[in-house]
Structures are given as C-alpha cells and as structure tokens.
Amino acid sequence: MLKKRGYRTDIRAEEDGTGSVGAEKGYLKEVGNIIFHVSLVGVLICVALGSLFSYRGQKVIVEDEGFVNALAAYDNFYPGAWFQEGQLDPFGIQLNGFDRTFDRQLDADGEPSEGFGSAIDFTADVTVQDGADAEPEETTLRVNHPVTLGGANLYLVGNGYAPVITVRDGEGEVAFSGPVITRPDDSTYTSMMVVKAPDANPEQLGFQGLFLPSAVDAGDGMAVSVDPELGNPELHLNSYYGDLGLDDGLPQNVYVLDTEDLDVLNSREVDAGGVVLSPGEVQELPDGLGEIEFHDVQDYIAIDITYNPGELGVLAFALLATGGLLGSLFLRRREPG
C-alpha cells in the first residue's frame, strides 16, 4: 500500500520474530535543492571564465567599406584579463547599403502627425564571410537583430552620414580626400563634422562645423535641418590654418578640433564668411591656402562586437538552477511513514 503511494519501503525483521515497516518519500525535493545550489556555482564559474577570456570592441564602417576581425582594425577594444590575440577568429563584414525608415504619417487634415520624422527602423545590407575559406554571404543587420560571426555577436548600435570631400592645399595638392564621419546631435540628423589636413602646404588646414541633411535658411546667415533624410544636404563649416598639434605625437580625438592656437580663415564673424557647400560645389579658401570640394554623401554604421565564451554555460546552468528551484519548491518534502 505504501509503495503504491510513492513511498520507499523497508521491511525490518527483529531477532525475536517481530518486525516493522519503514517508509519515506521526498528525495526528489532534496535533489532539486542540490541541483539548484550546484548550478549557482556553475553560473559563477562560467561568468568568471567568460570575463577572463571575453572581448568587446567597436567599429565604424562607411558604405562600400569593410572590416576584418583583427586587433588593429578596431576603433575601440576592451579585452578580458586573459585575452590572447589568437582568440580572434577570422571573419569579415562589408557595408553595401543602409536604409532608414522614418514616420511619414499625416493626420486627418493632411498635416504631419506628432511623430512625423521619427525613426522607425534601421537596416544595414551587409556581406559577411565567416572564416578565411568561407563563401561570402549577403544578409541584413538590424537593431536588436545581431549577426553572429566567429563566435562573436555583431550589433548595430549607431548610424549617420559621411560627406565625401576633397581638400586641396595652397600648392594645389590633395591634402585630404574621402568620407568624413559626422556625429548626429538630434532627431533631424544635424551632425557635427571635423576635418583635419595636416599634410597641407604651406599651412596645415582644419575644418569644423555642421552637416545638414535637409537644410533650410533660418535667417541671419543660419541654417537648420528640418528632416533626417537627404532632402537638401549642405555643409556649414569654419576653416582654420596653423599647427594642428598632430606632429607632437600626442593622441587627439578625431572628432574634436582644438582651435585655440589656430587662425580663422572662414567664419560668419570674418569678412570671408563661412564655408557653405552643396554636393558638387567647390569653395576656395582665403589667402590662396587651398580649396574644399563637397562630392556626395555616404552612409555609415557603428557596430558593437562582443565575444563571451561563457555565455552558453551561464545559460545552461541558469536553466538548470531554475529547474532545481522549481523542484525544491513544488515537490513534496521528505516524509517518513
């Protein structure tokens, strides 16, 4: 009868001919308790190993350019305490195009709705190669939808515009040419922009100002962007000449131009005025120190690359701990009978 009720039984015979029956149940509850505590130790071990061997980095990729998983290719890199460069599995990613989706709904009167122009979705069309011998594949990278390559997760964390410009110095030589990463400051992608041309002659040149995707005249020589899409892209820059400080060997923020020791060439405060350019336009700098040309605009994305070899172990032990906890809570406790 006890066995039918789930008890473990033991018949005990005594020397005097008498006997007794022992019964108990509830061992599974104790097993659940043990599994829970052992799993917690497993979680801690996996977290520790993951922290020691993990790495994280960031990279900005301009349209039609790519990235390979090499230490020198990262913009920022944060290794674990026991990280070795040999842990970087070979993979590559190239940005083919980028699509931004914004709210374009109108209200009943045909006027822009309250959320008009706000971001809805971002999609990067990329080509990836997971391994040196693997075939390239086309895929998409979206917010909260990472791509996994070489055991690392690649997350889309930012995007913006990269105006393509050329700077020629006073001798007519190209001192800078290529896309320039800008930093969006608001929902209309009004973006800060800095260009440094240390190879310019006879004077080094620097530029800082704004890139406006959809520029409109705000009066008093000012312009603002009224939409995040490329409706009327313009550059509004100040130009400077002098020692940029790059020859001193000291590191500088690529997104900041220190103008304290520079002389102004173009600005709204001087007679020459500021640099205002639309795609395809060229503007000469004062005093014959060169010119700047605005070609077109490309997209860029910022990706976060994370590798943690302990995350699967953490997940497995966490699930095991949850199962053990449920067992210890809901199974009947040990009972003698």
What does pTM read for this prediction?
0.81
Of the two residues 278 and 14, the one the predictor is more confident about is 278
Residues 142, 40 share a domain:
no
Domain count, the chain: 2
Least confident residue range of 11-20, 132-141, 218-227: 11-20
Neighbours of 93 (CB within 10 A): 25
Q: Are residues 10 and 147 in the same domain?
A: no
Is 312 part of a structural domain of the chain? Answer: no
pLDDT at residue 337 above 60? Answer: no
Cβ atoms 71, 77 nearer than 8 A = yes
pLDDT in tens, 81-93: 998 888 899 999 9
Check whether residue 264 and residue 181 sit in a common domain.
yes
Per-residue pLDDT band at 336 (split at 50, 70, 90): low
Q: What is the pLDDT of residues 15-69, one digit of tens each?
A: 777 888 877 766 666 778 888 889 999 999 999 988 899 999 999 999 999 999 9
Cis amide linkage into residue 213, ω under 30° from 0: no
Average pLDDT, the chain: 89
> Quick one: how far is CA 280 from the chain centroid?
31
Say yes or no to pLDDT of 280 above 80. Answer: yes
Rg (CA), the chain: 32
Same-domain check for residues 241 and 329: no
Residue 157 has pLDDT above 70, yes or no: yes
Domain contains 199: yes
> Mapping DSSP to helix (H, G, I), strand (E, B) and coil, where does residue 33 land?
helix
- Could you tell me the pLDDT band of residue 243, with boundaries at 50, 70 and 90? very high
Mean pLDDT of 117-128: 92
String of DSSP letters for 266-327:
EBTTSTTB-EEE-TT-EEEPGGG-EEEEEEEEEEEEEEEEEE-TTHHHHHHHHHHHHHHHHH
Residue matched to tokens 């172990």: 313
Closest alpha carbon to 95 in 151, 160, 150: 160
Residue 331's pLDDT is: 65
Range of the domain at 201: 55-307
Q: Are residues 114 and 27 both part of a single domain?
A: no
Could you give the angle at the alpha carbon of 258 between the alpha carbons of 256 and 262, nearest 5°?
140
Which sign, positive or negative, has the C-alpha torsion 195, 198, 201, 203?
Answer: positive
Q: Are residues 137 and 210 in the same domain?
A: yes
Would residue 127 count as lying in a domain? yes
pLDDT the model gives residue 208? 96
Say yes or no: 86 and 220 in one domain: yes
Q: Are residue 177 and residue 219 in the same domain, yes or no?
A: yes
pLDDT (mean) for 179-198: 94
- Asked if 294 and 198 sit in the same domain, the reply is yes
Pairwise CA distance, residues 327 & 25, whole Å: 14
Inter-residue long-range contacts of 139-143, CB under 8 Å, 24+ positions, other chains counted: 141/301, 141/303
